[in-house]
Structure 1
């Protein structure tokens, strides 16, 4: 579908928005505005990464915005983001995307209202910055979900369950953070190249750049936090194993001498003098009780019984 968002004959300005265009529609628009064939091929590639290139008098940009419908466990860039292609000319801007993007629709409505009030307000550069800002800010929801997830892992890590944290979930979390960081890094490279065109709108550009830099630092913090959780989980699992071994060892120390005594007198040899004594049985019990009490006292004094 090809939509004419803005058209000003007075200022010779045009904004076309192509949503899930057919190849014929794309070729028709390319013919009207002299778009390069390689750029058209990139438009049709759903998994293309962010890029910036200038072909003759047209700037071609690919952005990737966060898909709010993606699951936390998804770690593929093309599954957690949606592509937006932009052609920027002297007096036109063309946006191409395969699915509806909320921030694009919001920007379209905003500019339709602005132009209804002031026809001189349209500018391809400020619209471009609005699109870039929308793509970058779309990741705020991603970080909200990631921060909630990391807080959940941190809350579960010190529970008394045998497996408070699923290692697979932590791995998927780290993979998603890494995927988001890669696409943000590519977006950052694109934004650096846009800098040459945005002198007139430096404050807007600087705000976008600072937000993206903050997101990049946040991905590093989330990766570090996930590593800490994983290491803590492994340490706690090792600690719990050691606790089990400690308890089993204490039990074995108690029962080893008792088993030795019982084993000797349970061999049923005919000539065992102790078996015929009057106090042989109670004496054996007394010895075993004293041994047990002695071991208990020794362990208690050394702080091995908690």
Structure 2
């Protein structure tokens, strides 16, 4: 579906937005603006990663934004977590192409373009990239909150299998978004107009650094939390083995004594001795007390 979000007669440039276009519709626009076939193919690939390409006549940009509406709790791939927007940028036109609806484009057209804040296609592109970067802030805060909850469970509650699975998905989401932000850096660095440093692009770089720092911190915290999880789990296992070992030390000599007297040899004095059974019980009790005192002396209990 085609929408004309800005017209050259009214705004000084043309903005054509294509949502899930069919081949004839996109082909007609590509022929009008002489779009490169290879870039047209890239624009139609739903899982293409961010990039910036430039020719004399126009530039081609791919940017990805977080898909908050359709991403499931277990989404952990680029295609599942984000949507792609392909952008063809000329001197007096900008063409955006995407497959899933993104309200940020309509907001930019309604406020920035119609209010006169964007008077050139490059400024529209800057606003689109800014909106894409801002889309990662809310999921970053949500992931940070989830990490805090898991951290509380690691230290204060029982550790279970679903918790490890949840940590895995958090780590995957953070790694995927970090990778996308890293690839988006080239797009942001090449947005400056030739020969000058623009104020809008400086703000955009500051926003990029903020988001990159947030996800770097999330990645570091997630890795530390996973390491702590395994260390605490290992410590818990060692504590269980320690308790079982203590029990085995107590019962091993008692089992030996019981085994000896369970052989029932005919010539065993204690068998016909009236105090034989109480004597063996007292021996077992004495061995237990000695082992206990030995453990306490060495501070093993």
Q: Which residue of 2 aligns with 1:251?
A: 247
Structure 2 Cα separation of the partners of residues 63 and 198 of structure 1: 24
Per-residue CA deviation, residues 198-239 of structure 1 (Å, 9 max, x unaligned), is 947x22211211221222233222222222222222212221
Structure 2 Cα separation of the partners of residues 161 and 295 of structure 1: 32
The answer as to 2:285 corresponding to 1:289 is yes
Contact 1:86 1:96 in 2 (8 A): yes
Per-residue CA deviation, residues 19-48 of structure 1 (Å, 9 max, x unaligned), is 111111112112222322222222211122
Contact 1:52 1:190 in 2 (8 A): yes
The answer as to 2:173 corresponding to 1:179 is no
Q: Which residue of 1 aligns with 2:82?
A: 81
Contact 1:6 1:14 in 2 (8 A): yes
Structure 1 Cα separation of the partners of residues 159 and 56 of structure 2: 63
Change (3 A) 1:8 1:195: closer
- In the TM superposition, 1:47-196 aligns within 5 A as 47-68=47-68, 69-111=70-112, 113-115=114-116, 122-163=119-160, 166-196=163-193
- Which stretch of the first structure deviates more once superposed, 42-51 or 165-174? 165-174
- Which stretch of the first structure deviates more once superposed, 81-90 or 223-232? 223-232
Unpaired runs of at least 5, structure 1: none
1:248, distance to aligned residue in structure 2 (A): 1.4
Structure 1 Cα separation of the partners of residues 118 and 222 of structure 2: 46
Give TM-score scaled by structure 2 length.
Answer: 0.91
The answer as to 2:241 corresponding to 1:241 is no
Contact 1:76 1:176 in 2 (8 A): yes
Q: Which residue of 2 aligns with 1:34?
A: 34
Unpaired runs of at least 5, structure 2: none
Per-residue CA deviation, residues 61-80 of structure 1 (Å, 9 max, x unaligned), is 11111111312422211221
Number of residue pairs matched?
A: 300
Structure 2 Cα separation of the partners of residues 289 and 235 of structure 1: 38
Structure 1 Cα separation of the partners of residues 196 and 55 of structure 2: 21
Give TM-score scaled by structure 1 length.
Answer: 0.89
Contact 1:156 1:164 in 2 (8 A): no
Per-residue CA deviation, residues 154-211 of structure 1 (Å, 9 max, x unaligned), is 12112452526643433333222221111111111111111245947x2221121122
1:12, distance to aligned residue in structure 2 (A): 4.2
- Which stretch of the first structure deviates more once superposed, 129-138 or 282-291? 282-291
Contact 2:46 2:79 in 1 (8 A): yes
Structure 2 Cα separation of the partners of residues 196 and 33 of structure 1: 22
- Which stretch of the first structure deviates more once superposed, 26-35 or 166-175? 166-175
The answer as to 2:209 corresponding to 1:213 is yes
Structure 2 Cα separation of the partners of residues 105 and 169 of structure 1: 35
1:10, distance to aligned residue in structure 2 (A): 6.1
Change (3 A) 1:164 1:44: closer
Contact 2:113 2:119 in 1 (8 A): no
Structure 1 Cα separation of the partners of residues 262 and 115 of structure 2: 100
